[in-house]
Amino acid sequence: MEQPIIHISGLKKSFGDLSVLENIEFNVYKGDVVCLIGSSGSGKSTLLRCVNLLEVPDGGIIEVDGQNILEGSINVNRYRARVGMVFQSFNLFNNMTVLKNCMIAQMKVLHRSREEAEAKALHYLELVGMLEFKNASSLTLSGGQKQRVAIARALCMDPEVLLFDEPTSALDPEMVGEVLEVMKRLAKEGLTMIVVTHEMGFAKDVATHVVFMDKGVIAEEGSAEDIFQNPKEERTRAFLSRYLNQ
Amino acid sequence: MIISLDKAWDIAQKYWPSFMLGVRYTLFLAITGTLAGLLIGLIVAGIRALKVEQRDSFLVKVLKRIFAFVSTVYIEVFRGTPMMVQAMFIYYSFRSTLHWTPIVAGVFIISINTGAYMAEIVRAGIQAVDIGQTEGARSLGMSSFQTMWHVVLPQAIKNSFPAMGNEFIVNIKDSSVLNVISVTDLFFQSSSVAGSIFKVQETFLVTAAIYLFLTYTTSRILGYIEKKMQPKQTGRAGA
């Protein structure tokens, strides 16, 4: 049996008295595109943020390549460099150009030379179609452009897994397409991704595995076909019908 | 109030070298005090902003807590007492051990005084930087120090540049209190001139005009730099 890249079990997280994640259990295999769907407040984003330790879980295990990252001994910064993250609000560094955004962590975290970092940055900026903007300040870009740069920035670190936290939710509708296009391309190239999304079309087309979350627990999971064609749970059906009838 | 502008003009011309010597000291104090204060403020605010994290080792946790306490005391004491009092206390406390001259003591005092204000200014600047900037950097594996140094501080400095410039202008004026430890700044020189010719009003009219010229020019220069620092918005505004 193939070993999962990420194995999560018994994961718990609460903010004060409010329990946001309870007993979460799932696996991500190499090349998987896992889509986390569910209504707002169901815990999807918190789960994603736990995977790269922006939130510290209260209990459970997250094993990456067989190593539990919640144990004290691991180097969090080293670990984060292996797991990329793309945010809803882009979070490009406002004090740097597009190119510098893609280079800084390569040089400071992976200790790559300037030349190597630049070559890599140019390669991925081209992949996301943002090469011509390499010298622009990130403040001058549109939302869709920012998000494509943010994806390139994450890819520059050669992550084993890339996490997307509602990458298109803050975008104007006409810019959603360009970002989803890039993500589809990455999926096709075999990049392992976990995507929190409200784009059901994307989940249907691209996901190898869909996880439906409701009130902090995994209510149902399966292939895209299972979830979208034959949902077993009543609440999955209710959620999907609300979305698909829009 | 009888004041003769002609007299004032005569005094300005006759004692111009004295006034200019004072201006040199005043500007020297204001510039070095502001720059050194900025450096102190950046270091203090930067370290204070590194919050205790769950994963820090015990030693790091203890160090962070100690630093937070010491820096809070520093900021409160130096913002909460007059610089004139600080000058008297510090200068005379260390005169016998350090054998320092008034100007050296003056630079030291104005620097640590400004540092306390700058620390608060930079703290506000850091808080104004979106948390997403930090999360973006941390998600790429950058350490909290690297995040602070490469991402947060440059933006915080930009945010708080107007307030920092204001500190410079305040220092041009407030360095005058250092005359209590005989720093020969513009105020001190003016007092000497006024004392030697018994023309207090006219002399200090000249002094006021010089201070006003210094602060006004500075504020225009700072305004120009501030404008230059704004990014050119060429593309579409982000979604």
B139: which chain A residues are within 8 Å (Cβ-Cβ)?
A: 52, 54, 80, 84-85, 87, 91, 154
SS (H, E, C) chain B: CCCCHHHHHHHHHHCHHHHHHHHHHHHHHHHHHHHHHHHHHHHHHHHHCCCCCCCCCHHHHHHHHHHHHHHHHHHHHHHHCCHHHHHHHHHHHHHHHHCCCHHHHHHHHHHHHHHHHHHHHHHHHHHCCCHHHHHHHHHCCCCHHHHHHHHHHHHHHHHCHHHHHHHHHHHHHHHHHHHHHCCCCHHHHHHHHHHHHCCHHHHHHHHHHHHHHHHHHHHHHHHHHHHHHCCCCCCCCCC
d(CA A5, CA A27): 8
Residue of chain B whose alpha carbon sits nearest to that of A157: B140
pTM of the shown model: 0.83
Distances B182 to B19, B37, B104, B176 between C-alpha atoms, Å = 15, 22, 11, 10
Degrees to nearest 5, angle at CA A167 with A13 and A209: 65
Residue of chain A whose alpha carbon sits nearest to that of B156: A95
A197 vs B6, residue with greater confidence: A197
Q: Say if A170 is an interface residue toward chain B (CB within 8 Å).
A: yes
Question: Does the pLDDT value for residue B239 go beyond 50?
Answer: no
Q: In this prediction, what percent of chain B has a pLDDT beyond 90?
A: 68
Q: Which pLDDT does position A245 carry in this prediction?
A: 66
- Put simply, the chain A residues between 186 and 225 with a CB less than 8 A from any chain B CB are none
d(CA B69, CA B72): 5
pLDDT band for position B1 (50/70/90)? low
Question: Does the pLDDT value for residue B234 go beyond 70?
Answer: no
Q: Do B140 and A87 touch (CB under 8 A)?
A: no
Q: A59: closest CA among A15, A13, A8?
A: A13
Question: Does the pLDDT value for residue B233 go beyond 70?
Answer: no
Rounded mean pLDDT, A224-236: 89
B141: which chain A residues are within 8 Å (Cβ-Cβ)?
A: 77-82, 105, 109-110, 157
Contact B136, B130 (CB under 8 A): no
Type and span of the H or E element at A181: helix A173-188
Question: Does the pLDDT value for residue B206 go beyond 70?
Answer: yes
Q: A151: closest CA among A182, A172, A105?
A: A182
pLDDT 10s digits, B106-162: 999 999 999 999 999 999 999 999 999 999 999 999 998 899 999 999 999 999 999
Rounded mean pLDDT, A51-66: 89
Q: Say if B17 is an interface residue toward chain A (CB within 8 Å).
A: no
Residue of chain B whose alpha carbon sits nearest to that of A108: B142
Question: Does the pLDDT value for residue A246 go beyond 60?
Answer: no
Chain A to chain B, count of Cβ pairs less than 8 Å apart? 103
Closest partner residue to A95 among B55, B142, B154, by Cβ? B154
Closest partner residue to A81 among B130, B135, B141, by Cβ? B141
Q: B219: closest CA among B174, B162, B175, B173?
A: B162
pLDDT 10s digits, A114-173: 999 999 999 999 999 999 999 999 889 999 999 999 999 999 999 999 999 999 998 888
Task: Name the minimum distance, in Å, from the CA of A90 to any CA of chain B.
Answer: 8
Rg (CA), chain B: 22
Rounded mean pLDDT, A14-43: 90
